[in-house]
């Protein structure tokens, strides 16, 4: 895990291929169950 400051600095860099800043992806299950995301099962 990283601090939000470190995460922001990492994502706020320019990608050399697209010349765009990096972003993030939110992943949720259709039911909103986070068990698989937190336990890896």
pLDDT for the residue 34: 61
Instruction: Determine the pLDDT at residue 16.
Output: 92
Distance between CA 28 and CA 22 in Å, rounded? 20
pLDDT of residue 19: 92
Is pLDDT at 5 greater than 70 in this prediction? yes
More confident residue, 27 or 7: 7
pLDDT in tens, 8-38: 888 888 989 999 887 777 777 777 566 655 5
Q: Give the pLDDT of residue 33.
A: 63
Place of tokens 């039911």: 31
Distance of CA 30 to the CA centre of its chain: 18
């Amino acid at each position: 895990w990283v601090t939000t400051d470190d995460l922001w600095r990492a994502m706020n860099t320019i990608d050399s291929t697209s010349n765009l800043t990096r972003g993030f992806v939110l992943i949720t299950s259709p039911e909103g169950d986070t068990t698989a995301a937190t336990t890896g099962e």
